[in-house]
Amino acid sequence: MPSNWLDHLTVDHRDLRTAHSRRAQILNRLAADKPLLTELVHGIEHNPRLLHESEVHPLIHRLVLYQDDARGFQIRLHLSPGHGDELVPHDHKYSFTTRILAGAYTHVWRRRTDTSDGEFTAADLTPGIVTIERPDSCYTLGHPLVHQTLMLPGTVTLFMRGPREKDRSHAALDMLPQADTWPSPAEAGKPKHAGGQRPVTGNEYRVMRDQLAKQGIITR
């Protein structure tokens, strides 16, 4: 069994520059540690908490690989559904660091022109930096910032977040997909959330796992 060096990590999330450096080291090491990455993905199926935390979403699918509340971080894989609806400006409840494993996306960093807090629409934003994120790209986003991504099909990223900084995240209300395009509740006890996401089913998890193996990100 691969050594799970994640169990011995420490991360200082208080300073974003320091946090970026440390998280980038962790994600780079995990991306290169295919045996451990494979073990973490396969382990989701046998871990009820991680399986419940993993989600399908109209904008991005999430597989939670590792969670430690005491140390204040979570690591997951993000997989693009590939249907072209990802270009929705949004913020996050926490700061996070992302490393791209496969695919690519256009990444737009936005600035808010209103109160910089709470709900917003596209009219409350002004363009910032536009970048193209490709495999091996790694960046950190603070929770007050708004960004949007347009992903190629097959895009996969490693994502590490810090502790929650606010109660909820927000997305441009006038750019959200229509509710009838959201994933439907597939099983009893697995309701659709207000934002369209819900926990993965066992079959959906296995489809994502097989996709990762086919792309060479993990082994079978």
Q: Give the range among 81-95, 103-117, 135-149 with minimum mean pLDDT.
A: 81-95
Position with higher pLDDT, 120 vs 116 = 120
Band the pLDDT of 2: cuts 50, 70, 90.
low
Alpha helices in the chain (DSSP H): 16-32, 34-43, 48-53, 202-214
What CA–CA distance (Å, rounded) separates 96 from 71?
14
Check whether 113 has a pLDDT greater than 90. no
36, 38, 68, 143, 208 from 212: Cα distances, Å: 14, 9, 24, 28, 6
- Mean pLDDT, rounded, for 206-220: 96
Query: Which residue has better confidence, 73 or 58?
Result: 73
Q: Please say whether the beta carbons of 137 and 100 come within 8 A.
A: yes
CA distance 173 to 159: 24
**pLDDT grade for 190, boundaries at 50, 70 and 90:** very low
Q: Which residues does 175 contact at the CB level (< 8 Å), separation at least 6?
A: 87, 88, 89, 121, 122
Report how far residue 193's alpha carbon sits from residue 198's, in angstroms, rounded to the nearest whole number: 6
CB 102 within 8 Å of CB 154 = yes
Better pLDDT: 114 or 79: 79
How far from 144 is each of 42, 95, 131, CA to CA, in Å? 34, 8, 19
Task: Return the pLDDT at 181.
Answer: 53
Q: What are the E-state strand segments in 48-104?
A: 55-56, 61-68, 73-79, 96-102
pLDDT at 185 over 70: no
Cα separation values, 80 from 36, 61, 85, 100, 200, Å: 22, 6, 10, 12, 14
pTM for the model: 0.86
The pLDDT value given to residue 169: 83
Question: Is the separation of the CB atoms in 9 and 71 below 8 Å?
Answer: yes
Give the mean pLDDT of 141-148. 86
134 pLDDT band, cuts 50/70/90, is very high
